[in-house]
Amino acid sequence: MSAHGGSQEPIGQPTPGEAGARTAEVEPYDAVELITRKRFGEALDGSEISWLVEAFTRGAVAPEQMSALLMAVVIQGMGREEIRDLTAAMIASGERLDFTGLGRPAIDKHSTGGVGDKITLPLVPLLAALGVAVPQLSGRGLGHTGGTLDKLESIPGWRASLGADEMERILRDAGGVICAAGAGLAPADRAMYALRDVTGTVASVPLIASSIMSKKIAEGAGGLVLDVKFGSGAFLPEVADARELAETMVRLGEDSGLRTVALLSDMDAPLGRAVGNANEVREAVEVLAGGGPADVVELTLALAREMLALAGRSDVDPAPALADGRAMDAWRRLIAAQGGDPDASLPVARDAEIVRAGAAGIVRRVDARAVGVGAWRLGAGRAGPGDPVDHAAGVEVLVRPGDRVRAGDPLFEVRCDSAGRMARGLAALENAVELGAEPPEPRPLVAGRIAAG
């Protein structure tokens, strides 16, 4: 693996004799003019977008100006070329990685996030066991959705921060790595996301797509599989919006030469039974041992097949590797390679409460967002970047849509060691299960597939 810097050449910098007040005069564009044009729905060209991003990273475009531009994008949207140019500008703000020297295909996966989404945990060792390298750069949770790094940090000793050389060594030795993205990868996106997070400009297809794809393209894998979620527990609840996002990201991959496929998956109900950091690691280990909830296994295998196809190994069935112990062996290597103890006990909260059904009926719906908010209030998530998480806190979902329950039957097991947090978490779960007289219509877990062409 190698890394090289992107173009960070300042545009319009003064010569030594033109310092001071003349600096603003040599900028090729005026930020206010570009913001105003975007506010009225005009398309910006590649050089204008490139300048905006580059000038923002060096302070010539102020944070409040970039915030105004981001809000204009939320309101007016962006065309395909604008999104492509914004993505390219964010990539150019930092380094690009290269995995062509690994001696095996490197295929990445990204999920847009959801409640109980622990798929990365069994998926990476499964692919590693089948000869495909997975350089998985993951993130932390915010709000009602969990973060892969927070989950893995419930394993004693496990480290999320790796240097480029260590990441390459682990990829060669263990076949996969799950770690935090380095500060040099698309730094403009990191700075822009910090603004989006506090200005109500997160939920925008052009901004989500360019944010995700700038890092994934810069990462340097040979292919990318996207898990784009919809439903109450997703950032984009409507399937039409999720499809638009998936199509946009697949086009960005195509435009950059990164082979990209997207699956649309249902996040209206929590994925699996376990929600919360250590809880989800335990469930992932169940899957690696050949068991686990059917929906977690189904989505893991669906994504694995897509990744194998991009690696030129579509003839390989990934299912046997979960049953025969190969994936579990790879998991143990991956965890140990990053300092973790795969045999260590995971934290368990001392206090537990059971949420029970108030009436009899058939479970028509388990609201993923309500469950995610409940786990977040228990301490499993964070309200802002840098907040600590309680790795032991979480929710066990004891019913699925279609189950018949009687009054008093358990619906959730809730764990937390703070009485105040426990009360707030239980309140979030009061109406998380909808009961009725008839079972719900079956919903496919994977609702669609989007590829280039």
Q: How far is CA 284 from CA 151, 221, 287, in A?
A: 10, 24, 5
* 3-class DSSP state of 240: helix
Burial category of 169 from C-beta neighbours within 10 Å (exposed 0-12, middle 13-18, buried 19 and up): middle
Q: At what angle do helices 80-92 and 205-219 cross, to 10 degrees?
A: 40
Q: Respond yes or no: is residue 109 known to be catalytic.
A: no
Q: Which of 110, 251, 333, 415 is catalytic?
A: 110
Q: Respond yes or no: is residue 324 known to be catalytic.
A: no
Which DSSP symbol is given to 296?
A: H
3-state secondary structure 197-216: HHHCCCCCHHHHHHHHHHHH
- 8 A C-beta contact, residue 150 and residue 336: no
Maximum C-alpha span of the chain: 82
CA–CA distance, 313 with 269 (Å, rounded to integer) = 32
Q: Which of 85, 189, 227, 295 is catalytic?
A: 189
CA–CA distance, 385 with 390 (Å, rounded to integer) = 14
Can you say whether the dihedral through the CA atoms of 256, 261, 266, 271 is positive or negative? negative
Q: Which of 93, 204, 211, 265 is catalytic?
A: 211
Q: Respond yes or no: is residue 140 known to be catalytic.
A: no
Q: Which of 96, 109, 118, 215 is catalytic?
A: 215
CA–CA distance, 211 with 231 (Å, rounded to integer) = 21
Can you say whether the dihedral through the CA atoms of 349, 137, 204, 194 is positive or negative? positive
Q: Which of 196, 259, 326, 377 is catalytic?
A: 196
Structure tokens at 357: 């059904």
Q: Respond yes or no: is residue 110 known to be catalytic.
A: yes
Q: Respond yes or no: is residue 118 known to be catalytic.
A: no
Sheet holding 259-266, edge to edge: 107-111, 223-230, 259-266, 446-451
Structure tokens at 352: 């537990």
Of the candidates 256, 261, 259, 257, the one whose C-alpha atom is nearest the C-alpha of residue 88 is 256
Which are the catalytic amino acids? 110, 189, 196, 211, 215
